[in-house]
Amino acid sequence: MWLMLIVLLPFLGSLCVAFLPSNSKNWEAWLAGLVAAASTVITLCYFPTIASNEVATLRYEWLPTYGLNFSLRMDGFAWLFSLLVSGIGILVVLYARYYLSEKDPIPRFFAFFLAFMGAMLGIVLSGNVIQMALFWELTSLVSFMLIGYWHHRADARRGARMSLIVTATGGLCLLVGLVLMGHVVGSYELSDILSSGDVLREHSWYLAILVLVALGALTKSAQFPFHFWLPRAMAAPTPVSAYLHSATMVKAGVFLLMRFWPVLAGTEAWSYIIGFAGLITLVMGAFVAIFQQDLKGLLAYSTISHLGLITLLLGMGTPLAAVAALFHVLNHATFKASLFMAAGIIDHESGTRDLRQLTGLRKLMPITATLAMVAAAAMAGVPLLNGFLSKEMFFAEAAGFGSGNTWLPTLAVIAGALSVVYSLRFITEVFFGPVPSGELPKTPKEPPRWMRFPIEMLVVLCIVVGTMPGVTVAPALNLAVHHMLGAYTPEYSVQIWHGFNLPLLMSVLAFGFGLVLYFLLQRRYGISRLDKVPLLHRLDGQREFERVLLAVTSFAVRVEEKLTSERLQPQLFWLLLVTLVVGGLTVWRSPIEAVRSPIGFEPMFAVLWIVGGVCAVAAAYQAKHHRLAALILMSATGIVVSLTFALFSAPDLALTQAAVEVVTTVLILLGLRWLPKRLTPDVTGVKATLRDYRRRIRDGLLAVAIGLGMAATTYMVLMSAGPTKLTDFFIQHALPEGGGTNVVNVILVDFRGFDTFGEITVLGVVALTIYALLRRFRPAPESIELPAQRLGDIKNVAPWQLARRGYLAIPAIYFRALMPVLVLLALYFLYRGHNLPGGGFVAGLTLTVALVLQYMVSGTLWIEAKLRIRPHQWLGSGILLALLTGVGAWLFGYPFLTSHTAVVNLPLLGELHLPSAFLFDIGVFALVVGASSLLLIALAHQSLRSHRRHFSGKPPTLRKRGAMRWS
């Protein structure tokens, strides 16, 4: 349980901090610090458990069918890392408290900072590899947010994006690798994987797994050739650099390599991939670091180089090298975090990070200068500091690697010498030399007491570990090594003095070369004046990255241009063509057998259908030439369909169809006004070409084919055997189980209630989408002017005035009188729907018709001054009511949407059947009213918006606030 808290607390803290006011800097820092401290203390409390060689585990079932559990697992190795993450977290919080200025959005910083800490602890403590990959990607994401913290700066945005793309892509590779690994082992549990190293190494997928895991680790730890994101990530605030980009996140990559060292290491492929990546990064990073002019750039490249050193040690594949790697992770975290913080202080106090400007700060900030110099010395590997110990171990391993090789020790010494050079450069150029006299943006001074405190702590650690390794770090290191390497744990000893031996000689050589090289570079070549890295400046990872990114983007754009269209016609063409092909294939492959015989010929029905068919075809023909005529013809077809339903005794369908026809026709009529006028060829002077005719013929053929296909399919379905059992079931069970005699309605609200629920949800979504689209819709310039019908002497008269005394006076009286009748009718349909034709859908549409009439005759302003419709509320409460009705069944232990019929005896009304489905139907009703009136009002306000300037008449007194929101 406590284990869970370590990971959970930072996330909870992150949520809390995010909601704190932005001016309470201290509160946020205190909260973040306390969370970090709590995680540290809990971790420390686990020491006795770990020391007795136990592994603390915690497991919750997550997706047990897939073998996925949420599991936490703390062994000595994870313990050491979680101590590192949470411990340095406290110090960085303290530092950030003083680093951030009042103008920065502080809650955001600490919220993401804590989220990062939680994610990092999650990686370290994960007992399940899939879960580990999840936390892994989470760190990438949060790191993106933190690098882009000052998102008004272009370099921060670019750096954040680059680091996200590189590390998240790596994370994806890692996920694939881990899934493969889990497949090979047969379990995603870390403990199972760790115990099946031999299985993994001998499996044929080993190479694929190795490459994928290596890709994840190398991208995260900024190893060559993915190192380029780290220097760009320096646009982040310095506390972020100190925490993420030196102490923790970049260590996640090497953590991963160490975690899987016992199962993946020891093969040639491992040594080649990991070892060479590390070696190249080590030397190249150190070389490039020398020539940086930006203080943080220098530290970034030195970090890359040190991470390369760790990777190289792991790549060597010997247990002793792995011990050295782990030890160096700790040492690097302490001295590099303190160096970053010192760089932040220098930047903060002097206003610049440019090495060419900074000079002589030793006099102005003596304490910080001393601390930074000690840390830099540790970085260079000066004896009696912690960096020396791990470097000695590295030299020993390099010298002993293979038999009789000389190139690795040579490269190791060169890398050591280079690290001496950049450390020297950092110290001499910033702290020594003449005291600056006014050329810096600010006059440097010592920072606040507590801003320096984290550096002091870390530097003290460097010295203590460097002088007394046996009592300080050795016990923890032993535990971690034991758990990391398991059976491979070697004999080793951490001590300062091993006698005069080869590693010592290499150290001395490295120092000698480094000193000579530094003075050579300084005197002869003047590194302070170089603005690009010699030899390697062509090797620009960023440029390559951006080139690739550009290529991918332009490829995507080209594909999009080729494959998609903004025009409606091609979209419809392809949609219909695919439908035709797929539908045709389906029917062709499994034709439906016609078993029924057609009913006899009915002349009346035939005439009806001839009328309907002619209307439909004429509508299609007129669609291009006369939209209004097409619309009228279409609604005539709709009426024929409705009559057909009535003829075949489906009154529910007929009723609904009629209502739908009315509402759609009116809504389209309102929308037609915004379409541009059709320009005939004699106006434009453009004649249709042969190609146009070809296209029209093609489209026409497709339309006919689709229509005939639909007709044929319908015919086949009607003639097929049909699920008679289903029909019988519905008819038999409608009254006893659904509590209603109207089978159609009972099917809708009870038997297939879940379908209906989905449908009304879709209806609501569609209505909201159209509303959103229309809100931002601005009509074409040529349709903004008043239509011809509104010119003349009624030009300046508002609709409500016309309705009062103008030519609309009589219709207005009639429609207003009709309103209560229609409302009553709607309620009647709703009430009787369960037993007789009617139902929520028809009722909703009827109410909408009532509203449409009022809007049309009196104008928007007048209506909304008298009656405020709130479509959003109707919509929302409708869906909520339907949902609650469904959920209500749970209270009685039944599945979602189970219906229940209550029989009540009321004094005046007699026996009443009140099925719960009725409540559901009321929900449907409210939603339909909301959705259709939302569309109506959105369209109505469209006219209002562009016509407002035409009305001179003062609108009626408006007592609403909501109506204005619309326009």
Which of the stretches 556-564, 793-801, 844-852, 959-967 binds other proteins when contact is defined by CB under 8 A? Answer: 793-801
Q: Does 791 bind other proteins (CB under 8 A)?
A: yes
Q: Tell me the one-letter amino acid at 602.
A: E
Closer by beta carbon to other proteins, 351 or else 806: 806
Q: What is the three-class DSSP state of 260?
A: coil
Find the radius of gyration of the CA atoms of the chain: 38
Give the binding range for other proteins (CB under 8 A) out of 374-382, 425-433, 504-512, 798-806: 798-806
Determine which residue in the list 687, 793, 907, 965 makes contact with other proteins, applying CB under 8 A.
793
SS3 call for 74? strand
Which window, 29-37, 746-754, 792-800, 875-883, contacts other proteins (CB under 8 A)? 792-800
Amino acid (1-letter code) at residue 292: Q
If one asks whether residue 788 binds other proteins (CB under 8 A), the answer comes out as yes
Residue with Cβ nearer other proteins (371 or 643):
643
Closest contact distance (angstroms) between CB of 787 and other proteins is: 11
Is 935 in contact with 766 (CB distance < 8 Å)? no
Nearer Cβ to other proteins (793/911): 793
Site for other proteins in 814-833 (CB under 8 A): 814
The nearest distance, CB 647 to other proteins, in angstroms, is 17
What region does 440 belong to: left with phi over 0, alpha with psi -120 to 50, or beta?
Answer: beta
603 binds other proteins (CB under 8 A): no
Nearest-approach distance from CB 844 to other proteins, in angstroms: 21
Per CB under 8 A, 797 contacts other proteins: yes
How near is the Cβ of 745 to other proteins at its closest, in Å?
21
In degrees, to the nearest 5, what angle opens at C-alpha 24 toward C-alphas 22 and 28? 95
Which phi and psi (to 5°) does residue 57 adopt?
Answer: -130, 160
In the structure encoding, which two tokens stand for residue 619, read together? Answer: 């509508």
Q: Which is nearer to other proteins, 477 or 825 (CB)?
A: 825
Strands 901-906 and 68-74: unpaired
- Residue 118 has which token pair? 């939680």
Regarding 683 and contact with other proteins (CB under 8 A), the answer is no
Given 498, 596, 775, 805, the residue binding other proteins (CB under 8 A): 805
Binding of other proteins at residue 404 (CB under 8 A)? Answer: no
Helices 690-719 and 568-589 pack at an angle, to 10 degrees, of 40
DSSP string, 446-493: PPPHHHHHHHHHHHHHHHHHHH-HHHHTHHHHHHHHHHHHGGGPPP--
Please give the size of the binding site for other proteins, defined by CB under 8 A. Answer: 15
3-state class (DSSP) for residue 905: strand
Smallest distance from other proteins to CB 921, Å? 24
- Give φ, ψ of 68 to 5 degrees: -105, 125
For the chain, the farthest-separated pair of C-alpha atoms sits apart, in whole angstroms, at: 116
How buried is residue 353: exposed, middle or buried, by Cβ count under 10 Å (0-12/13-18/19+)?
A: buried
Our CB check for other proteins shows the closer of 15 and 791 to be 791
The CB-of-798 to other proteins minimum distance in angstroms stands at: 12
Nearer to other proteins, 681 or 792 (CB): 792
Strand partners, 70: 60
| Least distance CB 807 / other proteins (angstroms) | 5
Contact mark string toward other proteins, 735..774, x via CB under 8 A = ----------------------------------------
Output 724 or 789, the one with its CB closest to other proteins. 789
* Distance of closest approach, residue 670 Cβ to other proteins, in angstroms: 17
Length of the chain counted residue by residue: 967
Classify 40 as helix, strand or coil: helix
Nearest Cα to Cα of residue 592 among 711, 721, 710: 721
Nearest approach, Cβ of residue 794 and other proteins (Å): 7
Interface with other proteins, residue 694, by CB under 8 A: no
Return all residues near 253 (Cβ < 8 A) that are at least 6 apart: 216, 217, 218, 219, 220, 221, 222, 223, 307, 311
> From the CB of 803, what's the least distance to other proteins, in Å?
11
Minimum distance from CB of 643 to other proteins (Å)?
A: 16
Q: Is 807 in the site for other proteins (CB under 8 A)?
A: yes
Candidates 473-481, 787-795, 900-908, 956-964 — which segment interacts with other proteins by CB under 8 A? 787-795
E strands in 545-621: none
The encoded tokens of residue 533 equal: 């890295």
Residue 845 CB, nearest approach to other proteins (Å): 17
Residue 654 touches other proteins, criterion: CB under 8 A: no
Query: What's the CA gap between 883 and 754, in Å, rounded?
Result: 10
Nearest of 368, 361, 344, 348 to residue 459 by alpha carbon = 368
Q: What angle do CA 228, 229, 233 make, to 5 degrees?
A: 130
DSSP 8-class letter at 601: P
- What's the CA gap between 489 and 491, in Å, rounded? 7
| Least distance (Å) between residue 790 CB and other proteins | 10
CB atoms within 10 A of CB 941: 19
- Judged by beta carbon, residue 718 or residue 791, the one nearer other proteins is 791
Q: Which CB sits closer to other proteins, 266 or 651?
A: 651
The identity of residue 223, as a single letter, is Q
**Judged by CB, which is closer to other proteins: 806, or 955?**
806
Our CB check for other proteins shows the closer of 771 and 862 to be 862
Give the single-character DSSP code of 276: H
Part in contact with other proteins (CB under 8 A); list of ranges 243-251, 315-323, 355-363, 803-811: 803-811
φ/ψ (deg, to 5) at 495: -150, 165
Q: At closest approach, how far in Å is the CB of 808 from other proteins?
A: 8
What's 499's DSSP letter?
A: -
173 and 165 in contact (C-beta within 8 Å)? no
If the CB atoms of residues 629 and 797 are measured against other proteins, the closer one turns out to be 797
Stretch that binds other proteins, among 216-224, 267-275, 565-573, 785-793 (CB under 8 A): 785-793
**Which ranges of 186-275 would DSSP assign to H, the alpha helix?**
190-194, 197-202, 206-220, 229-232, 238-242, 249-259, 261-264, 268-270
Query: CB-wise, 814 or 890, nearer to other proteins?
Result: 814
Q: Chain centroid to CA 628: how far?
A: 46
| CB distance 68 to 175 below 8 Å | no
DSSP category for residue 354: B
Verify binding: residue 439, other proteins, rule CB under 8 A. no
**Among positions 266, 486, 583, 811, the unique one binding other proteins when judged by CB under 8 A:** 811
Minimum Å distance from CB 663 to other proteins? 17
The single-letter code of the amino acid at 148 is: G
Answer whether 880's CB lies under 8 Å from 761's CB.
no
Q: Are 446 and 539 in contact (CB under 8 A)?
A: no
Q: Are strands 910-915 and 901-906 parallel, antiparallel or unpaired?
A: antiparallel
Cα(6)–Cα(4) distance, rounded to whole angstroms? 5
Return the number of the residue (525 or 807) whose C-beta is nearest other proteins.
807
Binding of other proteins at residue 604 (CB under 8 A)? no
Q: Does 794 bind other proteins (CB under 8 A)?
A: yes
Task: Give min distance, CB of 814 to other proteins, in A.
Answer: 5
Smallest separation (angstroms) from other proteins to the CB of 678: 19
Options 810, 824, 867, 902; binder of other proteins; rule CB under 8 A: 810
DSSP classification of residue 808: T
The residue from 499, 792, 907, 910 that contacts other proteins (CB under 8 A) is 792
Q: Which of 420, 743, 802, 869 binds other proteins (CB under 8 A)?
A: 802
Query: Measured from the CB atom, is 680 or 789 closer to other proteins?
Result: 789
Q: Which stretch binds other proteins (CB under 8 A): 91-99, 545-553, 703-711, 800-808?
A: 800-808
Positions touching other proteins (CB under 8 A) are 788-789, 791-794, 797, 801-802, 805-807, 810-811, 814
